[in-house]
Structure 1
Amino acid sequence: MVELLAPAGSEDSLKAAVESGADAIYLAGNFFGARAYANNFDEDGLAKAIRFAHLRGVRIHVTVNTVVNDSEIPALRKYLRFLYEAGTDAILVQDLGVARLARETVPSLPLHASTQMTVHSLAGVLALQELGFERVVLSRELSLDEIRYICANCQVEIEVFMHGALCVCYSGQCLMSSMIGGRSGNRGRCAQPCRLPYTLVDETGQDVLEGAAGKYLLSPRDLNTIDLIPQLIDAGVSSLKIEGRMKRPEYVAAVVQTYRQAIDTCYKGTNYQVTQEERDTLAQIFNRDFTTAYLTGRPGKHMMSDRRPNNRGLLIGRVSVYDRDHRLVTIKLNGQLANGDQVDFWVKVGGRVTASVQDMTDEKGRPLQSGKAGDLVRFCVPMTVHEHDRVFKVYDGALMERTRKTFRSADPIRRIPVNAVVRAAIGKPLMLRLTDKEGHTGEALTHFIGEPARNRPLTEAIVRGQIERLGTSVYSLNTLTCSIEGSVMIPMSELNDVRRRAVEDLDEHRLAVYSRSEQKLPKIHTNMQPLPKKASRLMVSVETIEQMRAAIETGADGILFGGDSYHHQPITPNDYQKAWGIARETGIRIDFNLPRIIRDSHQKAIENLLVSCRENFEPDAIHVHNIGALSLVKNLTRLPIHADYSLIAYNLQTLEFLRDYGAAEATLSPELNIGQIRSLAANSPLPLTCIVHGKLELMVSEYCVIGSFLGGEGQNTCTHPCTKKSYALKDRKDALFPLVTDQFCHMHILNSKTLSMMPHVMEFESWGIHSLRIEAKAMNPDQIRRIVRAYQTAAAFPVEPDEAQKNWIQAQEGPEVTRGHYFRGVL
């Protein structure tokens, strides 16, 4: 049976999820979880949470899904050991270094690959399967057919999201929060820049939508798959996941209850139907409007909540009349409304008006506790609204009260039935045995030896009255078999005590199921690649032959060619071969870049390219951006592999993993600061590259704002307006973030400012950095010539340039530059 996996960002949410029917819970401790701002669990809280869940047959998965720096490794090692000893059922990880550390520290603790690992193909799943992962959480960009294909061709469990907030970027590939605000999503501190307002502008700065869309162009609707549950189960998915560790416990309860009912209905084999009440519950508790994302197609703009980035509630009617003198509004209802609810009026002028529903009456002024569809109701509103304004219920008092019972009740709601056997006789202690449906037993004997009764002999009714008082335990009495020999007396206090001890014994037997024995995970099969034949002090990343020639003319030591096109053009094997020929003629290093995202539908073309490289034009290295591509190159070629920055080399453990797995070089994460870079370089098992110049990619997205709002994507075949003009997103501070679309129609958002480390380029060699890279795909040939020439010149300056040299560098850089995280790092 498919697992219903629920979030818990607090103790109340944990209880709400368990009592509402979750099979498993994912949560975090105070550190190393991708929701650092949730009300997470300390160690005592975690241990209690695990015991609470395990007694009820619910598994606990702990998120350790952030990248970590080297200073945190000792604490992480200790934390992993604690999680193992506390009985955690699995940990979710993003950082390959964390996975390596977990294998060494707690080898029998199951590993799950977080969606932050950006696994979006069968190749990625199989690579992690070989590494000993037991489960992979797929990227949310996959279709049902792709999920089905992956499930049918792997042995690991596959987990997919079924409800909750969506990231507009491929999870694990977003730098926008850290580059704009210094809060890294990869470190669990995403500031959600995707929920902020943006304007889509062309190269002239003109707003090209002009009111045809809202301002929240990067804000997705919430995922809702309630209608697709049968298809997801049929696809072979092992676990269906609800997003929401930042949500309140009432949300957790309502969503878990609704999906519990849906999943159970599927397995009953009856006709699967979703009731309107279930739909309304999901919408009422929280929604930004709903979408099924990419599960059944490419929805384009219909996936976006561009008018409002937060909860919109449930539409329950429109304003019929507004009495300005008395501030009374009359609403024609098309849904339920009651005193204690809260509503938002979407007014024609002025945005939103919020009101609590109090002292509601009908149209004749008679008091009402509630109204239903078709009723006219009246109540006071503090601000002006208008006729025909839409009314959304954003708080349902009855729903909230109902869901709160799941975590505020002193007694358990979701109880485990037990069968009790009692034997009593004169001269013997009374025996009580409790047995649950799985066959676990708890047994206890009274300390008191049965005596002949003088007044009230023990009866089955008396026994039942005491044994069924299971109170705050997780059990309820199902059947009682009572054997009493003779007229025996047992004190009530003894009956209560034997019940308590039998319950404790049953608890321990149920918990014993979760104990684990040590085991060894599969070894990593190393495939050590040779180092590239040519070193490169200054590598320039390009996508066209013209860009390549410009870089070579002005002194580039190496070229990184291809990968994602910034001009929506395919980069063919002939293009790669031509670039290879030019590099060989000029005697410089040539590396080939692979796309950041390689879906199964695109993999064959990549495989053909790799075979051609192997047989006809071998580059000095192949750059890969995810574990699937790394495995692919390793298995198809003997070429040196360069682990690029998307693989997030942030600590020595990750670098050591990459070395063991076969990488020959690595590019460090752009989120590292100088101190961290110097420390890594001093101890790295691999030659390292740093990106020093260019427009850094902040997001890569399956969603394209240009095609969705200008090209008809989601309705018809996209007309590719991206090939006719250049576009950017302008934020509320008038910063412009260029948009580029690659050959696979992925949208890449570039930083508004150009990264430049030109004033410090002469220092990197002393830090131990092997190669510096200029990201030049967004530049024209003239810009490339100027920047490469400037870097070669600046590299010859002393570590402390004189005033004239500093002024020269500043003139070469231009005004709109950033030092990225080199001097500030990330939270």
Structure 2
Amino acid sequence: LNALRRDAVEALENLLITDHETAWAELAVEPQDMSSMVAKGKVQYFEPMVSARVDELDSVKAAIEGGAKKIIFGGDRLQRKPYELSIYEQVATLCNNHNVLCVFATPRVVKDDEVESYMSTLKAIVEAKPDGISIHVPQALLWLRDLGYTGAIEADTGLNIFNGSALQVWQDFNMSSIAPSLELTLAQLVNLQKSTKLPLEIMVHGYTEMMISEYCAIASFVGTGKKENCPMPCVREDYALKDRKGEVFPLRTDPYCRMHIMNSHEMDMRAYVPELHRKGLYILRIDGRHMDPHRLRSIVADYVSIQNGTKEAPPKSVGKDDTPITRGHYFRGIL
């Protein structure tokens, strides 16, 4: 029986390897064709700016009113219902009318059986003529090539760019900017910025995503227990997970019915804006996908004012005891 089990496992392993090799070969690009995957256009960044990652039209307007000079829209919409495809043209027009950079993002996860349906969204994104497209998965280069897109492309956090070697790969693809891994320390970010002429865009405010899960705790506890024919309780109420220490982690769902577990504390780096500038980090991103538009406008305005010197940064001690905020991994790393 042991020998039979070993033979069966070996046979299954060989089948899986063959299947993956075949699938990969179908995506393979010959060396002489690599140039067709390199972004032809490029966004030039000449000055410090605040960017806002948002997923609703009202939030786009609020961020622009607050002074954001770059909008990153779409990708992982933290709401269950999908977009109407016309929204991309609306966002691009709004940004263009206010002389604000418009960048559309791809999701962080696109499964093989979702690619075909996602292509209609990506086609609408390309047709909206944004200033750039921010990618979270390497396959997006192939999709954009197939759609004939020749504009600017930016490497986003989903690519998990953690060191100079990874950054060099994406620099060779002529990216306009790099949003490195959210797990880097400030010291690592500074060293990474020194190693490239590309601007790094770093997150300074918002709730970071701890995990994206196919399993949905909301459906399991207050739904039917499965995704099929789910009554979508997540549309009607907000839910969260509480750990043994009493920390509350907000739950969000996206149009692909995936669960996003958010950090229990909001990142707030306002106190460190002057230091970030001194160290050569000038593109500061606020993740406003979970924020009320009025609050988003206020937070963006704060960062813009601190950035241009019309408002002093708050003391670094703010947030240590009085409010539950986090500095992410900037000062503690992951090791």
TM-score normalised per structure 1? 0.36
The sequence identity of aligned pairs, in percent, is 31
Q: 1:136 and 1:764 mapped to 2: Cα distance?
A: 47
Q: 1:732 is matched by which residue type in structure 2?
A: R
- The aligned counterpart of 2:254 is 742
AA matched with 2:182: P
- Secondary structure of the residue that 1:739 maps to in structure 2? strand
Pair 1:585–1:652, CA change in 2 (3 A): same
Q: Secondary structure at the match of 1:667?
A: coil
Say whether residues 1:619 and 2:143 are aligned partners.
no
Q: Is the 8 A contact 1:701 1:748 kept in 2?
A: yes
1:820 paired residue number: 328
Residue 334 of structure 2 aligns with an amino acid whose one-letter code is V
- SS where residue 806 of structure 1 aligns? coil
C-alpha distance in structure 2 between counterparts of 1:631 and 1:156, whole Å: 12
Q: Distance in 2 between matches of 1:769 and 1:742?
A: 31
Query: Helix, strand or coil: the match of 2:71?
Result: strand
2:65 pairs with 1:559: no
Q: Shift of residue 784 of structure 1? A: 0.2
User: Which structure 1 residue ranges, 4+ long, deviate > 4 Å from structure 2?
Assistant: 19-24, 150-154, 521-524, 533-536
> In the TM superposition, what are the counterparts of 1:60-79 in structure 2 within 5 Å?
none
Supply the distance in 1 between the matched residues of 2:234 and 2:181 (Cα, whole angstroms). 29
Q: How does 1:219-618 map to 2 (within 5 A)?
A: 522=31, 525-526=34-35, 527-532=38-43, 537-614=49-126, 616-618=127-129
Q: Does 1:792 align with 2:304?
A: yes
DSSP-derived class of the 1:604 partner: helix
Instruction: Report the alpha carbon displacement of residue 643 of structure 1 after superposing the two structures with TM.
Output: 1.1
Corresponding residue for 1:361? Answer: none
Q: Distance in 2 between matches of 1:772 and 1:528?
A: 23
Note if contact 1:634-1:662 (Cα within 8 Å) is conserved in structure 2. no
Closer, same or farther in 2 for the Cα pair 1:755/1:681, shift >3 Å? same
Q: How much has 1:713 moved relative to structure 2?
A: 3.7
Count matched residues: 324
> SS at the partner of 2:25?
coil
User: What is the CA deviation profile of residues 95-131 of structure 1, one whole-angstrom value per residue up to 9, with x for unaligned ones?
Assistant: xxxxxxxxxxxxxxxxxxxxxxxxxxxxxxxxxxxxx
Matched with 1:198 is none
1:522–1:737 distance in 2 versus 1, CA, 3 Å: same
- C-alpha separation between the residues in 1 aligned to 2:136 and 2:79? 20
Question: What is the letter of the counterpart of residue 247 of structure 2?
Answer: A
Partner of 1:824, secondary structure, is coil
How far the C-alpha of 1:625 sits from its partner, in A, is: 0.9
CA contact (8 A) 1:569 1:743 kept: yes
The counterpart of 2:294, out of the listed 763, 769, 782, is 782
1:691 pairs with one of 190, 200, 203: 203
Q: Tell me what 1:671 maps to.
A: 183
Deviation at 1:757, TM superposition (A): 1.1
Match of 1:121 in 2: none
Q: How does 1:187-202 map to 2 (within 5 A)?
A: none
CA displacement 1:242-281 (0-9 Å, x = unmatched): xxxxxxxxxxxxxxxxxxxxxxxxxxxxxxxxxxxxxxxx
Q: How does 1:83-102 map to 2 (within 5 A)?
A: none
- Contact 2:135–2:153 at 8 Å: present in 1 too? yes
Aligned to 1:37: none
Say whether residues 1:644 and 2:174 are aligned partners: no
Check conservation: 1:762, 1:796, Cα contact below 8 A. Answer: no
Give me the whole-angstrom Cα distance separating, in 2, the residues matched to 1:685 and 1:557.
21
Amino acid of the residue matched to residue 530 of structure 1?
Answer: G
Return the alpha-carbon distance in structure 2 between the equivalents of residues 745 and 777 of structure 1: 17
Are the counterparts in 2 of residues 555 and 789 from structure 1 also a CA contact under 8 Å?
Answer: yes
User: Which of the pair is proportionally richer in helix?
Assistant: 2
Distance 1:603 1:649 in 2: 23
User: What per-residue deviation string (whole Å, max 9, x for no partner) do you get for residues 629-679 of structure 1?
Assistant: 233224421121111111011111111111223433210111111111111
Contact 1:704 1:747 survives alignment (8 Å)? yes
Whole-Å separation in 1 of the counterparts to 2:129 and 2:227: 43
Structure 1: gaps of 5 or more residues: 1-15, 27-58, 60-134, 138-146, 158-520
User: Cα distance 1:820–1:151, how it changes in 2: closer, same or farther (>3 A)?
Assistant: same
- Structure with larger Rg: 1
SS in 2 for 1:681: helix
Task: Could you tell me which runs of 5 or more consecutive residues in structure 2 were left unpaired when the two chains were aligned.
Answer: none
What code does the residue aligned with 2:104 have? F
Within 2, Cα distance between the matches of 1:580 and 1:649? 27
| 1:578 partner amino acid | Q
Q: Secondary structure at the match of 1:590?
A: strand
Structure 1 residues 694 and 760, CA gap change in structure 2 (3 angstroms): same
Distance 1:136 1:668, change over 3 A: farther
Kept in 2: contact 1:656–1:685 (CA 8 A) = no
Summarize the Cα distance change of 1:653–1:715 in structure 2 as closer, same or farther, 3 Å threshold.
Answer: closer
- Select which of 629, 635, 657 maps to 2:169: 657
Deviation at residue 710 of structure 1 after TM alignment: 1.4
Residue 778 of structure 1 and its aligned partner are, at CA, apart by 0.6
SS in 1 for 2:328: coil
After superposition, give the CA deviation of every residue in 1:530-576 in whole Å (9 maximum; x if it has no partner).
Answer: 22156671100111111111111111111111112212121232111
Q: State the distance in 1 between where 2:163 and 2:231 align.
A: 44
Task: Give 2:25's match in structure 1, choosing from 155, 160, 165.
Answer: 155
Q: CA deviation at 1:628?
A: 1.5
8 Å CA contact 1:136–1:156 kept in 2: the answer is no
**Secondary structure, in 3 states, of the residue corresponding to 1:561?**
strand
* C-alpha separation in 1, matches of 2:223 and 2:21: 33
Partners in 2 of 1:639 and 1:596 — Cα distance?
20
2:134 partner SS: strand
Deviation at 1:608, TM superposition (A): 2.6
**Aligned partners of 1:650 and 1:151: how far apart in 2?**
27
Q: Which has the higher strand share?
A: 1
